[in-house]
Amino acid sequence: MRSKEQENKRRQRRRKKQLERAIHAQSVSLDGLAELHPRGVVSFDLEMAGAFPDDIIEIGAIRLPLGNDKIEVFRRLIRPRTFINRTVRDMTGLTKEDLRDKSTLDVILPEFLDFVDPEDLVVGHAIGDNDLLSINLALMRMNHKNGTNIRFCPR
């Protein structure tokens, strides 16, 4: 019995060390980043309604200014243009009724673009989830409607 407990503890310690190594391997040195880009870093993520790649129902972003401890947060829920599919409803708990009184993407997207300065270094979900493509598809729709030519191409 004693040896089973010891073996379980050993496995737990080994697993903990594996997780720590994995986290460390994926971490970014903020000191090194501060040298490369003193303004700071913005990471953002989108939630889609699920039907179309430009039907965004949530934008969340944080700015980590390097050199001080003040973190800036941008988070907006958005009224969907179409419907929210079942997978997204199950995953987020959001329904179209929950977002009925929220502003549309035409209102929120310019606020987001004001939050992300062109000089910001953008990392995180912006690269891995095709979020850049989704924002630019939404901007194309807005540009066509408004006769503008706005793009989102962060560093």
**In the chain, domain spans:** 1-29, 37-146
At 107 the pLDDT is: 95
At 38 the pLDDT is: 60
Tell me the average confidence (pLDDT) per consecutive run of 10 residues in the chain, 155 residues long: 79 79 61 63 88 90 79 93 91 91 95 86 63 89 91 81
Q: Are 60 and 135 spatial neighbours (Cβ–Cβ below 8 Å)?
A: no
Q: Could you tell me which residues come within 8 angstroms of residue 115 by beta carbon, excluding any fewer than 6 positions away?
A: 42, 61, 63, 72, 74
Instruction: Name the one residue in this structure whose structure tokens are 């929220």.
Output: 102
At 126 the pLDDT is: 43
What architecture does CATH give domain 37-146?
2-Layer Sandwich (3.30)
At 124 the pLDDT is: 60
